[in-house]
Amino acid sequence: MEAKNMDFYEYCCLNRTLMRVDEETDAHWFFGNKEVEQRLLDRITSDFNTRGVPKCAVLGRWGIGKTHTLNHLKWLFESNPQKYKARPIKMHLAPWDDTNPRGNNWGYIHRKMIDAIGEHVLRDIVVEFDKLPESRTQNFAESMESMFKFGDANLKFSLSVVLADNFLRDQKSTALAWEWLRGSKVSTADLGVNRLIESVQDMVDVVRNIGVLAKKTRDMGFVFLMDEAHDLANANKKKGEVHYGFKELADQSNSDVGFVLAIFGPGMNAIPALLTDPKDILDRIGVTSQTIDQAIIELKDVTAEESDLKAFVVSVLENLKDQDKANSVMNEFSLGSKTTTGLMPFTPDGIDELVEKLSQKEETKAPRLVIDNLATIANRAYEKARDINEYVLVDAAFARSALA
């Protein structure tokens, strides 16, 4: 084995080709501060016990790990459904375009929610409901209609017809039915329904009724993991109806469709005003302006202290490591007295130097930038190793030079 012939991932003993955290494959690993994670999980557990589904948010500056946190929650819910009884559904609220009539109102959010649920999930719910004993005792559509809690009689009837006629069995295109569910103006006669989904109330009621059906079939509702919720601050023209939509989702009558928002920005002042004013949304999720941090968990503490930052760096390197490769490289180049397999290609004093430098500025402590710096410095060592055909470790002197 010669250093000049090694690929970067071999040199760094990675379990992947690039030194980066992947949103999906690394979702099991929460790289943030454990106290922050526990506060978030405590809130989510409390919401399950008192509200039926989570109704909360995470907040933090760029690169702090908001999207990663949503992915981690998705993994937690999917891997432990007995404890977290909700089907996680990821979606993005951005981009918000206040100049576009189709992109500046609750209808825009509603379409994203319906599309995020997806036809396959909706079909599974309908098929599973058909297998329940109580659905066999009457007309299938009527059986579904009797389950629905929200909306007027015509909305319940129309929703039950659309679901029963279009999603129970594989058949012709469901495009028309899907557009009805999204709130588009389609032919009611072609679908056999007597009304369209038109108002904010209709849209919220349809989603909540689908949640009711999901809870009935699997004892699991929905929780929408809504990324980029800071874009709601751009909602001006239809601010009132967007506020109303979230208020209805937050309402105590809804125990089947929850949400966890990810909001970009430093401090509680970054929360979009439509979520906090009027205060009826806060009232419904059980907090006040003074206690809002109980429901909106700020991730600023992830790498706040130098010790936290060091723990994060070590955790990144260890989680990206292929231990068999590391042992092989360690033995091949006789590195055992200089570092450990978990830290390669860094040495302990190299890590200390890196952490000291990055901790001096708030912006460089962001997890995303920390990982970028790890990869950049490791690559410099790799390029030098290829030039001289010797394994080059990132010690304190090398890290100091690379960060100068």
pLDDT tens for 63-74 read 778 888 999 999
Nearest to 250 by CA among 260, 235, 264: 260
What mean pLDDT is reported for the chain? 93
Question: Hey, what long-range contacts does 99-108 have (CB within 8 A, 24 or more apart)?
Answer: 104/235, 104/237, 104/238, 105/237, 105/238, 105/241, 105/242, 106/200, 106/203, 106/204, 106/238, 106/241, 106/242, 106/244, 106/245, 107/183, 107/200, 107/203
Q: What superfamily would CATH give domain 34-301?
A: P-loop containing nucleotide triphosphate hydrolases (3.40.50.300)
pLDDT in the model for residue 31: 66
Average pLDDT for 115-133: 94
For 180, how many CA atoms within 13 A lie in the half-sphere containing its CB?
Answer: 24
Residues of CATH 3.40.50.300 domain(s) within the chain? 34-301
pLDDT in the model for residue 115: 98
Does 305 have pLDDT greater than 90?
A: no
Average pLDDT for 85-107: 95
Does 33 have pLDDT greater than 70?
A: no
Average pLDDT for 350-374: 90
* pTM metric for this prediction: 0.89
Does 32 have pLDDT greater than 70?
A: no
Average pLDDT for 237-260: 97
Q: What is the pLDDT of residues 172-227, one digit of tens each?
A: 689 999 999 999 999 999 999 999 999 999 999 999 999 999 999 999 999 999 99
Does 41 have pLDDT greater than 80?
A: yes
- Other beta carbons within 10 Å of 34: 11
pLDDT in the model for residue 302: 62
Which segments of 219-320 does DSSP mark as H helices, in order?
239-250, 280-284, 306-319
SS3 label, residue 377: helix
Q: What are the φ/ψ torsions at residue 90 (nearest 5 degrees)?
A: -85, 145
Average pLDDT for 350-356: 96
Nearest to 191 by CA among 207, 175, 202: 175
133-172 burial string, b = 16+ CB within 10 Å, else e? Answer: eebeeeebbebbbebbebbeeebbbbbbbbbbbbbbeeee
pLDDT in the model for residue 36: 79
What is the pLDDT confidence band of residue 138, given thresholds at 50, 70 and 90? Answer: confident
Tokens of 161: 């017809």
| Type and span of the H or E element at 257 | strand 257-264
